[in-house]
A and B are shown apart, each in its own frame.
Chain A
């Protein structure tokens, strides 16, 4: 199993550009989520999904969109990048069979917005 994969690993954007961060998992997990981690900070939940076709907002959803058309993929779209979105983005997945307690994280995408 590859686990949770994220692409790209690094990205530099200009203010106003849009892009999609990719996340995929091969563990057949129902629950998937996106977090951002700013320097010296914890993880803040952006959006999450408990299954295909179901998404919900987390703590900091503004400026981001998600969709969940398949169990495996959960892309995060930045609509119009802003310097405040410079961060490291982590995708995670877990099985609702374990009540979502143990999340498996991807390696992260380091995003810089100029």
Chain B
């Protein structure tokens, strides 16, 4: 069935370094791919999204890359800060009739001082 998964369950990076969080998806028909951040004890928070007809989108300190050829999504965080420590989820949504969100299992990002 359709699924969104992640390669790395835990990622540790030094403060100030760049972080790259990866995600694989299987539903070629998804219209948008979205990244969420979840801090401990809180609900997920939207970070950035990308439409399926784009391959790159930049936000504040974050960049999302979409490679449809290999069905791969990545989130790049520049100059990682302690406040970036959280679990990051990728998600996808198809807008053709159902509006169903599918979330991946998440990657924990640990920022080392």
Task: Kindly state whether residue B93 has any CB partner on chain A within 8 Å.
Answer: yes
Query: How many B residues touch the partner, as a band?
Result: 20 to 34
Report B-chain residues with C-beta under 8 Å of the C-beta of A75. none
Q: Decide yes or no: A108 and B43 within 8 Å by CB, A33-B101, A42-B89, A58-B100 being known contacts.
A: yes
Give Cα A40 to B105, complex, Å. 8
B38-56 vs A, CB cutoff 8 Å, 1 = contact: the mask equals 0001111110010000000
Report B-chain residues with C-beta under 8 Å of the C-beta of A48. 99-101
Give min CB distance, B2 to chain A, whole Å.
Answer: 10
Closest to A3 in B: B43
Give Cα A17 to B77, complex, Å. 45
Give Cα A4 to B44, complex, Å. 12
Report A-chain residues with C-beta under 8 Å of the C-beta of B95. 99-100
- Total A-B pairs, Cβ < 8 A: 63
Closest to A107 in B: B43
Give Cα A90 to B36, complex, Å. 14
Asked if B34 and A106 sit within 8 Å, CB to CB, the answer is: no
Q: Which B residues from 74 to 113 make CB contacts under 8 A with A?
A: 89, 93, 95, 98-106
Asked if A45 and B100 sit within 8 Å, CB to CB, the answer is: yes
Report A-chain residues with C-beta under 8 Å of the C-beta of B34. 101-102
A-B contact pairs, 20 of them (CB 8 A): A31-B99, A33-B101, A40-B105, A41-B106, A42-B4, A44-B103, A45-B100, A48-B100, A56-B98, A59-B100, A90-B43, A90-B44, A92-B43, A99-B32, A99-B93, A100-B95, A101-B34, A102-B49, A103-B36, A106-B43
User: Known contacts A4-B43, A96-B99, A101-B93; can you find 12 more A-B pairs with CB under 8 A?
Assistant: A31-B99, A33-B101, A40-B105, A41-B105, A42-B103, A43-B89, A44-B103, A45-B100, A90-B43, A99-B95, A100-B93, A107-B42
